[in-house]
Amino acid sequence: MALTKRYLKNRPVCKVTFRMSKKAVGNAESVQLAGEFNDWRPDENPMKKLADGSFSLVMELETGREYQYRYLIDHEKWENDWEADKYIPSGTHGVDNSVVVL
């Protein structure tokens, strides 16, 4: 997994690349990204499957904020980002959300 950030000079946004490795997703057919930036609707942000079996998505997010998010693998298994900036309890017992800090 990887979380990379590229801040834009001319606008208060950051291009964030969310990436799930083949190791993290196994033989998954789909991975979707859900979080505060899309009202936790995974269908809003399907990730692109790459030739190496990993999944990737680039989003422009407003700077100066923190966003909670999680990945949904094959519409059934929720997974955190192993390289998130931090984790916050989700409100469900024993479950954390990943957080990207911009």
The predicted pLDDT at position 19 comes to 96
Strand partners, 67: 100
Integer Cα distance of 14 and 74 in angstroms: 28
The pLDDT, as a whole number, for residue 92 is 83
**CB-CB contact of 81 with 72 (8 Å):** no
β-strand pairing of 13-20 with 96-101: unpaired
How high is the pLDDT of residue 93? Answer: 81
**Each residue's pLDDT tens digit, 8-30:** 999 999 999 999 999 999 999 99
Are the C-beta atoms of residues 53 and 71 closer than 8 Å to each other? no
Return the pLDDT at 1.
Answer: 63
pLDDT at 94: 82
Please give the helix or strand (H or E) that residue 90 lies within, else none: none
CA distance 44 to 93: 26
Residue type (1 letter), 70: R
Tell me what the pLDDT averaged over the chain comes to. Answer: 94
Q: Which residues contact 25 (CB under 8 A, 6 or more apart)?
A: 31, 53, 54, 55, 73, 79
**pLDDT tens track for 58-81:** 999 999 999 999 999 999 999 999
Structural domain of 38: 2-101
**Number of domains the chain is built from:** 1
CATH code of the domain covering residue 7: 2.60.40.10
